[in-house]
Amino acid sequence: MSKECQSEAAHPILTLPPEIHHLIASCLPIQTRPATLLALAVTSTKLYETIQPLLYANVIVTTEEHAYTVLGRILEDQYIAQLVRKLHILSNLSVAARKAHNETRMLTRLHQVIKEDRLPNLHTLSLAFLSGWYRDEALRDLDGFGHLPLVFWKDLRRGCPLLRELSLQGIGDTDEDPWMDESGLYELKNISHLASLRLDFRSQSPPDGRASIILKSLSNVTSTLHTLALSFGNAREDATPILSLTFPHLKSLELSSFVVRDTECAMEFWARHSGLERIIFDRVTGKWFSDPVAPGLLPNLINLKTHYSDVRAMASHLPQLQFLSVGGSINGQVPYLLRSVIPNGLPNLKSLVIGQVPYSERDIREIEGAMWYETEEGEFRQEKKIKNAYMTMMDNYVHSIVRGAPNIEELCLHGFPLGTAKLQRLAPVLAKLPRLERFYYIAFGNTHAEITQSDVEGFISDCHLLADSCPSLTSVTNVSTDEIPYLTGKVFRDDQGLVQKVIPGRGFGVYLLGGDVDPFPSNPMPYN
């Protein structure tokens, strides 16, 4: 027997039954699962044969052309088609396709795949439409693109009988192009059997009155849903219709663009949903939690994203969290929370996202924690003068985060942009986080078009600086742009852990906070 054959025969994964292979693959982060499996598969022929079904079980494509090619492969190869369990497509309609009025190219092929019963084992369908689908290169609104008509949903229900999870991001219509009125989506027609539902409407959609139709229709799916995510663009919808419902199996709730008018109603909802593991709020208003929240509420919660005021109300529950995103904090409120309010900090926390605003107006004395800070020596102090209370993340800030959350694997800081000089000061502090693998921050530029080659070169140099100081760091991401994918620096090291190179690429937001439900996570400034 050759050495290669002996090596393949001895590989532990080859001795495991196929169902265990799927279990192992499901434990990998959804965003990196395909690349990780592919890297393993190419190490030997036997491993490729074993891992190939896992590669096609979870298909993630991030461009319009790639999606078209992959869907063509599914049409041509019935064996591969039957392997597909999850299909995730991120698409930004190209100018060329739009001008040729050929935007239906990818969607037509997807519909063809479904109509011809090529995806009989599909469990999850995720479609994320970026701004090119509804705005032209001059940022003018477009109509007539990205339609998913009623016949699509009827064919999906018939051709994919095992479908249980649906995610639609960046969808929408207008008064001038009300295609969704006939699609049945507002009424949740043909998708009432789902266990996971995400509807994320673009900024100016849905038109007036349509959101209330969706909220009313939710009463028909309460018995099946374990995951619900709703975002209504720039609207501010009353959350009462949701909070009045009971979802017996609900584990994950994401709401954006909602307002809670009755905190007591919200607290009753939490009491009825003790199985919740994940609560994600963005651009919401009102008090979602009474202050303080009594111990014992939401005992299974491990993932929380919301405004600082609600995070503060949940202080007694924070030690159980693994993932936390805090929006709307002022000055040193988050360090104050991690170091003073919770003296033992959050040692179980793996992922932390912070949105922070410096502030020094007259009312600051009335804001808890806004004048608090910790010295580098570990002494807690209260600033006496209002004008000196103004604090950025470079002022007696990050060392408190390191002490209060010492085991985080990913950290995202949303504050002022951090240039080279600031990162040089920050790197030795971040180096004290032994498990930090991914770092996200605002570097430059609000849009992809504003980022120059010089910006990219400077960013990669800064990534190298951080990676040299932080031995576990594997990637650095600029989250300042308005749309995914983000500019990312991927770190490569030698056998001794020294940085060999940093390669620029496309990336997404924090992995862990997104859980296994979002293949294309983003990290906009977490203001609410």
N-to-C CA span, the chain: 63
CA distances for 105 relative to 101, 355, 466, angstroms: 9, 39, 42
Q: What share of the chain is helix, strand, coil (3-state, %, to 5)?
A: 35, 20, 45
pLDDT, position 528: 47
**Strands, DSSP E only, in 364-460?**
372-374, 380-382, 410-414, 438-441
Which residue carries 């209060």 as its tokens? 404
Q: What are phi and psi of 401, to 5 degrees?
A: -65, -45
What is the Cα–Cα distance from 317 to 328, expressed in whole angstroms?
19
H/E run at residue 157: helix 150-159
Residue 238's contacts (CB-CB under 8 Å, 6 or more residues apart) are 258, 259, 261
Q: What are phi and psi of 55, to 5 degrees?
A: -60, -45
Are the C-beta atoms of residues 307 and 284 closer than 8 Å to each other? yes
pLDDT, position 519: 81
What DSSP string runs through 263-308? HHHHHHHHHH-TT--EEEEES-BS-SS-SSPPTTSSTT--EEEEEH
Q: Which two tokens stand for residue 123?
A: 């469990």
pLDDT, position 136: 66
Helix/strand/coil for 373:
strand
Per-residue pLDDT of the chain (528 residues; tens, 9 = 90+): 444 454 445 566 667 676 676 677 666 766 677 777 777 777 777 777 777 778 888 899 988 888 989 999 999 999 999 999 999 999 887 777 666 654 457 888 999 999 999 999 999 999 998 877 777 666 666 666 788 999 999 999 999 999 999 999 988 887 777 888 889 999 998 888 899 999 999 876 787 788 899 999 999 999 999 999 999 887 789 999 999 999 999 999 999 999 999 999 999 999 999 999 999 999 899 999 998 998 899 999 999 999 999 999 999 999 999 999 999 999 999 999 999 999 999 999 999 999 999 999 989 999 999 999 999 999 999 999 999 999 999 999 999 999 999 999 999 999 889 999 999 999 999 999 999 999 999 998 767 778 889 999 999 999 999 999 999 999 999 998 878 899 999 999 999 999 999 999 988 888 766 556 678 888 776 654
Question: At residue 175, what is the residue type?
Answer: D
Of 468, 394, 460, 459, the residue nearest 426 (C-alpha): 394
Are the C-beta atoms of residues 351 and 512 closer than 8 Å to each other? yes
Q: Which two tokens stand for residue 424?
A: 């040089």
pLDDT, position 70: 92
Tell me the pairing of strands 227-232 and 252-256. parallel
pLDDT, position 104: 52
Are the C-beta atoms of residues 159 and 119 closer than 8 Å to each other? yes
What DSSP string runs through 468-522? HH-TT--EEEE--SSSSSEEEEEEEE-TTS-EEEEEEEEE-S-HHHHTTT-SS--
What is the Cα–Cα distance from 477 to 372, expressed in whole angstroms?
29
Are the C-beta atoms of residues 22 and 51 closer than 8 Å to each other? no
Q: What are phi and psi of 493, to 5 degrees?
A: -125, 160
CA distances for 333 relative to 110, 307, 359, 432, 468, angstroms: 48, 12, 11, 21, 30
What is the Cα–Cα distance from 25 to 140, expressed in whole angstroms?
42
Q: Which letter does DSSP use for residue 141 in this model?
A: B
Longest dimension (CA), the chain: 80
The residues pairing with 258 across neighbouring beta strands, listed in sequence order, are 237
State the burial class of residue 483 (Cβ atoms within 10 Å of its Cβ: 0-12, 13-18, 19+): middle
Residue 333's contacts (CB-CB under 8 Å, 6 or more residues apart) are 308, 312, 356, 367, 368, 369, 370, 372
Of 200, 260, 263, 266, the residue nearest 234 (C-alpha): 200
pLDDT, position 1: 44
Q: Which two tokens stand for residue 138?
A: 């001059």
Tell me the pairing of strands 380-382 and 165-171. unpaired
pLDDT, position 527: 58
Instruction: Please state the three-class secondary structure of 214-274 as a single string.
Output: HHHHHHHCCCCCCEEEEEECCCCEECHHHHCCCCCCCCEEEEECEECCCHHHHHHHHHHCC
**Strands, DSSP E only, in 137-226?**
165-171, 196-201
